[in-house]
């Protein structure tokens, strides 16, 4: 296990899903672009990459607000289209081995949860595809809370599901929104990007 990912004294580990445990960035970008294109909405890669902590619905609403575009379909329909495109390419998703190694090392020793801004159906399907579902005691998604990241709700719900105080939880994250959410929840957090997306 890489030293920079060691959980130290944490009593429970919470993992973001997309970009943290799995490398789904390209599949997510392609799926969102394919869902928006029929409605005349373009999607820039850099803009998308800077907002990976947002749920699909929040991202679509942010794009419309920032570009002044008028959505020609309900947000939930656009999200459903995005999800269909994503699931059609689920075989492209790969595990980030450095982060998955942490989960595997502490499975059975510490309670583990996935706490993600994604949709439960999508994550559960991808978990089964990658045979990772056995690792985790709990899964909390955007579907179960009122507010997505950067609000702390997802992480607080996950801590509750693991019966662990927020201060005793450690979060593994790959987005600015997720890191802010973890800190607001009163949790320690490790930014996995230097490991999963090293520069140069």
Q: Per-domain residue ranges for the chain?
A: 3-24+94-196, 25-91
Instruction: Identify the pLDDT of residue 199.
Output: 65
Instruction: Identify the pLDDT of residue 173.
Output: 97
Instruction: Identify the pLDDT of residue 54.
Output: 87
184: number of Cβ within 10 Å: 16
Q: List Cα–Cα distances, 60 to 35, 48, 113, 131, in angstroms.
A: 10, 10, 27, 30
Are 196 and 174 a contacting pair, CB within 8 Å? yes
Instruction: Identify the pLDDT of residue 100.
Output: 97
Query: Using CB atoms within 10 A of its CB, is residue 68 exposed (0-12), middle (13-18) or buried (19+)?
Result: exposed
What's the rounded mean pLDDT across residues 130-135? 93
Q: 66 — phi, psi (to 5°)?
A: -75, -30
Catalytic residue numbers, as ranges: 16
Instruction: Identify the pLDDT of residue 91.
Output: 79
DSSP state of 153: H
**What order of strands is seen across the sheet that includes strand 138-140?**
138-140, 112-115, 12-15, 169-173, 188-191
Share of the chain above pLDDT 70, in %: 99
Query: Which CATH architecture best describes the domain 3-24+94-196?
Result: 3-Layer(aba) Sandwich (3.40)
Tokens of 189: 């957090």
- 3-24+94-196 and 25-91 agree in CATH topology: no
Are 52 and 174 a contacting pair, CB within 8 Å? yes
What does the alpha-carbon distance between residue 93 and residue 192 come to, in Å, rounded to a whole number?
18
What pTM value is reported for the model? Answer: 0.86
Q: What is the dihedral of CA 142, 145, 148, 152, to 10 degrees?
A: -130
Domain 25-91 has CATH 3.40.50: no
What's the rounded mean pLDDT across residues 65-90? 91
Are 143 and 119 a contacting pair, CB within 8 Å? yes
């Amino acid at each position: 296990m890489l030293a920079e990912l060691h959980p130290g004294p944490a009593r429970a580990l919470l993992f973001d899903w997309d970009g943290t445990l799995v490398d789904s960035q390209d599949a997510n970008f392609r799926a969102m672009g394919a869902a928006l294109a029929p409605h005349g909405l373009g999607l820039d890669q850099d803009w998308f990459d800077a907002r990976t902590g947002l749920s699909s619905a929040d991202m679509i609403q942010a794009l419309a607000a920032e570009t002044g575009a008028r959505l020609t379909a309900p947000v939930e329909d656009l999200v459903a289209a995005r999800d269909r495109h994503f699931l059609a390419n689920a075989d492209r998703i790969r595990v980030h081995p450095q982060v998955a190694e942490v989960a595997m090392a502490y499975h059975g020793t510490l309670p583990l949860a996935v706490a993600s801004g994604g949709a439960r159906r999508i994550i559960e399907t991808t978990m089964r595809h990658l045979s990772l579902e056995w690792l985790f005691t709990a899964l909390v998604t955007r579907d179960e809370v009122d507010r997505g990241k950067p609000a702390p709700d997802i992480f607080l719900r996950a801590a509750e599901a693991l019966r662990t105080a927020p201060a005793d939880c450690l979060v593994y994250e790959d987005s600015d929104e997720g890191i802010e959410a973890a800190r607001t929840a009163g949790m320690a957090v490790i930014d996995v990007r230097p490991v999963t997306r090293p520069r140069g």
